[in-house]
Amino acid sequence: MGRQPGSARRAAETESTKTPRPPLAGEPLALDLVNTTFIHGGLRGSLVDALATPADLDLWLAEHAEAFPREPARRASAPAAASRLEEFRRLREALRELSRACVAEEPYDEQAVAVVNRAARLAVSWPEFGERTEDGPVVRWAEPDPHRVLLGTVAVSGVELLAGPGRHDVRACAAPGCILYFVRTHRRREWCTPGCGNRVRVARHHRQRRS
């Protein structure tokens, strides 16, 4: 990095000590996982991985607790093991490939499908009678490890989205330098976030003024 005035350098340092969060959330879980790799800082920005450490995974799971079944989400509040992080990253890679193929209207890659299908089985659950009838049905999971149940839940979200009718609404953000995916919830949505829309409009404006 070149020399910067003191205040700018301090700002950059504060920035670098804290990994930026993904600019988009609230998509189906599968896309929110895919979108944990993103470009920060526009066209000349840098690639950020918001799932680089087990602590990053803990944070991401906590941020999405509402979207997960309550019991395994509660038990998964214990720190994640490095091996679990690896499994989430592998699922993310497979889901990114399938999202890309979905948007490009290409056949899905068999290996990526196999990774997602295998993970989806971890979400298997069924209702049982609990100890007291008044408590109502108790949900049990075949998989004892809560982190793997959550992994399965993300995979199921991916299967439902990318194999279901919603796949026709999956979009890759068209802004240059953006790698995020989203579900087009209304017909005029072209960008992942208003930030990307603004960048594109500003660039278009500059191009027009030059020509």
- Least distance in angstroms from the C-beta of 145 to Zn ion: 34
Map residues 169-188 to x or -, x wherever contact with Zn ion holds by CB under 5 A. ----x-x--x-x--------
Binding to Zn ion by CB under 5 A, coded x per residue (else -) over 131-170, reads ----------------------------------------
The answer to whether 64 and 105 have CB atoms below 8 angstroms apart is no
CA dist., res. 17 & res. 142, Å (int): 40
31 binds Zn ion (CB under 5 A): no
Strands 46-49 and 37-40: antiparallel
Residue 105 and residue 87: Cα distance in Å, rounded? 27
Q: Is 141 helix (H, G, I), strand (E, B) or coil?
A: strand
Nearer to Zn ion by Cβ, of 116 and 173: the residue is 173
**Eight-class DSSP state of 66:** G
Closer by beta carbon to Zn ion, 150 or else 196: 196
Considering beta carbons, is residue 159 or 196 the nearer one to Zn ion? 196
Separation CA 198–CA 194 (nearest Å): 6
The CA–CA distances, whole Å, from 41 to 48, 179, 193, 199, 204 equal 10, 12, 14, 11, 18
- Report, in Å, the least distance between residue 173 CB and Zn ion: 3
| Segment interacting with Zn ion, rule: CB under 5 A, options 38-46, 125-133, 157-165, 194-202 | 194-202
Q: How far is CA 165 from CA 117, 127, 159, 162, 205, in A?
A: 18, 28, 11, 8, 37
Other Cβ atoms less than 10 A from the Cβ of 210: the count is 6
Give the integer Cα–Cα distance in Å for 13 and 166. Answer: 42
Binding residue for Zn ion, selected from 115, 150, 162, 192, defined by CB under 5 A: 192
Instruction: CB nearer to Zn ion: give 60 or 182.
Output: 182
Interacting span for Zn ion (CB under 5 A) from 70-78, 87-95, 119-127, 193-201: 193-201
CB of 66 to Zn ion, least distance (A): 24
Between residues 120 and 192, which has the closer beta carbon with respect to Zn ion?
A: 192
> Which residues in this chain contact Zn ion in the complex, by CB under 5 A?
173, 175, 178, 180, 192, 196
